[in-house]
Amino acid sequence: MINILDAIYNISQRDELEIKDITFGNNRANNMGEGLEAFIKDSFANMFDEPDKNKRNLKYKEVFSFQGSKETHQILC
């Protein structure tokens, strides 16, 4: 079971703490939060360095019980 302490530990092990800009659609407010959301999800799933989106999505399904109702999560993550 992953908890907040695991996520903090995963973040502390990173040399680079970069939050990527993710642009999807025209809603600027939503786009501003997408990068932070992806960073937080990666911290809990410890998937910072995984380039394969399918592997990331499978790990997210293991770690998170609910990923939101937006369909864009499957595209962005």
CA atoms of 25 and 31, how far apart (whole Å): 8
CA distance 47 to 52: 10
Which pLDDT tens digit goes with each residue over 12-66?
999 888 787 776 667 766 667 888 888 999 999 999 989 998 999 899 999 988 7
Structure tokens at 55: 């592997």
CA distance 63 to 24: 24
**With 60 as the cut, is the pLDDT of residue 67 above it?**
yes
Total domain count, the chain: 1
Domain residues for the domain of 33 are 4-76
Structure tokens at 63: 């770690």
- Flag whether pLDDT at 77 surpasses 50: no
Residue 23 has a CB neighbour count (10 Å cut-off) of 13
Is the whole-model pTM more than 0.85? Answer: no
CA 34/CA 40 separation, integer angstroms: 10
